[in-house]
Amino acid sequence: MKEGDVVLISLPQSDKKFKKRPVLLLKKMPGFGDWLVCGISTQLHQYVPNFDEIIDRNHPDFKASGLLAPSLVRLTFIAIVPKADIPGTIGSLGNGTITKIINNLIEFLKKP
């Protein structure tokens, strides 16, 4: 697995049940090799301009992403996931897209 991979993991839902959902691997964390991830959702209305990234059918990475429908990479939904909870990848985003997403997060974190 590498930065930019899209994987399916079990995530808690609002009803406290777990469901397999796609996430984007942002960065492998030091120490135990767990991953900083952000959620991916088909709820495009949750888009935060200049922060999140929409991966629709016109996006150059859509086919390689493994996503089944236009989706939103949600930097507003970040988590740490143990590497043991990641069974494998379904696709990936290109270097340009992952760099843009990570830079959006960095710029947000640098703001006072």
Q: Residue type for 101, please?
A: I
Q: What is the pLDDT of residue 11?
A: 80
Q: What is the pLDDT of residue 12?
A: 75
Q: What is the pLDDT of residue 34?
A: 95
Enter the pTM of the model. Answer: 0.91
Cα separation, 64 vs 43, in Å, equals 20
Domains annotated for the chain, with CATH where assigned, are: 5-110 (2.30.30.110)
What contacts 101, CB < 8 A, 6 or more positions away? 24, 26, 38, 53, 73, 75, 93
Main-chain dihedrals φ then ψ at residue 96, nearest 5 degrees: -65, -40
Q: What is the pLDDT of residue 13?
A: 73
| Contact between 98 and 55 (Cβ < 8 Å) | no
Instruction: Spell out where 13-112 has E strands.
Output: 18-28, 35-41, 53-55, 71-81, 89-92
Q: What is the pLDDT of residue 90?
A: 96
Query: Per-10-residue mean pLDDT for the chain, 112 residues long?
Result: 94 80 95 93 94 96 96 94 92 96 95 88
